Amino acid sequence: MICACQPTAPQNFADKQRRSPRVRAAFAEKDGPLRSLFADQGLPYPPQQLFIRIFKQEKILEVWAFSTSDAVFKRVKHYPICRTSGNLGPKRREGDLQIPEGFYHIDRFNPKSNFYLSLGINYPNQADQVLGTKGNLGGDIFIHGGCTTIGCVPITDEYIKEVYWLAVQAKSNGHAKIPVHIFPTELDDRTMGRLKTTFPNDDALINFWKNLKIGYNWFEKSRKLPKISVNRQGVYQFSDPALE
């Protein structure tokens, strides 16, 4: 007897995520409006590459997508952060209530989160491991739904549906490590001057922010992402990936 069955097509990451009722709901509600939003801005959809940028003081999360025609990132949308905890400055130990600051990427997708949907950030990164409290760095930092936080980034259930679904599609299209840059505030010269005035006796913190400002300026000027590494002192270093 000859079987005439067709082989089952392999499932991609988005297909697997849509097994979850919450991700299916996000797809059903948000895919159409997001497709229209990308079309209005001349961006390919589904997105090939995403970039998330967070400003703690402004309570803003920005989503950027790569324009294949212009070879730069374009801002798609910004979302209000519902609530923050801690103060300006990086996270250095477990339980300090701080939202991290620095250069990260999404390393986990949780479609069954206690906060509806959540995207995990790879805190502590290499710089945090050098500069933070050894053996007590903490972890489990997420962008998630709801409006409560002890160091995470909540953007409400409604908005996490959009950000989560965009991230799922980008990963499904091969963008394995979606960058997430977290800053205390917009690090232009004016706000940097204000930070120096507000924290006049904390040279270590100001120097840390000066280091972050290099990465901030790189993207502001070029709308392209630098290659980022960390030296033995926990300092971020930036280079042009096109030259390597």
Look at residue 235 and tell me if it is in a domain.
Answer: no
Look at residue 108 and tell me if it is in a domain.
Answer: yes
Is 181 annotated as catalytic? no
Is 105 annotated as catalytic? no
Number of CB atoms found within 10 A of residue 93's CB: 15
Instruction: Select which of 82, 105, 152, 181 is catalytic.
Output: 152
pLDDT at 6: 53
Give the chain's domain count.
1
Q: What share of the chain is helix, strand, coil (3-state, %, to 5)?
A: 35, 25, 40
Look at residue 6 and tell me if it is in a domain.
Answer: no
Domain, as residue range, for 64: 13-193
pLDDT at 10: 58
- Name the token pair of 217: 């300026």
- Name the token pair of 91: 């996270």
Q: What is the CA radius of gyration of the chain?
A: 19
Backbone angles phi, psi at 110, to 5 degrees: -120, 100
List the CATH number of the domain containing 95: 2.40.440.10
Q: Is 190 helix (H, G, I), strand (E, B) or coil?
A: helix
Look at residue 147 and tell me if it is in a domain.
Answer: yes
pLDDT at 63: 99
pLDDT at 27: 98
Who has greater pLDDT, 134 or 34? 34
Mean pLDDT in the chain? 95
**Cα–Cα–Cα angle for 234, 231, 208, rounded to 5 degrees:** 35
Answer whether residue 64 shows pLDDT above 70. Answer: yes
In angstroms, the CA 109 to CA 216 distance is: 26
pTM of the model: 0.94
In angstroms, the CA 63 to CA 65 distance is: 7
What distance lies between CA 185 and its chain's CA centroid?
15
Instruction: Select which of 144, 147, 175, 181 is catalytic.
Output: 144
Cβ(153)–Cβ(164) below 8 Å:
no
Look at residue 227 and tell me if it is in a domain.
Answer: no
Q: How far is CA 69 from CA 16, 51, 242, in A?
A: 30, 17, 17
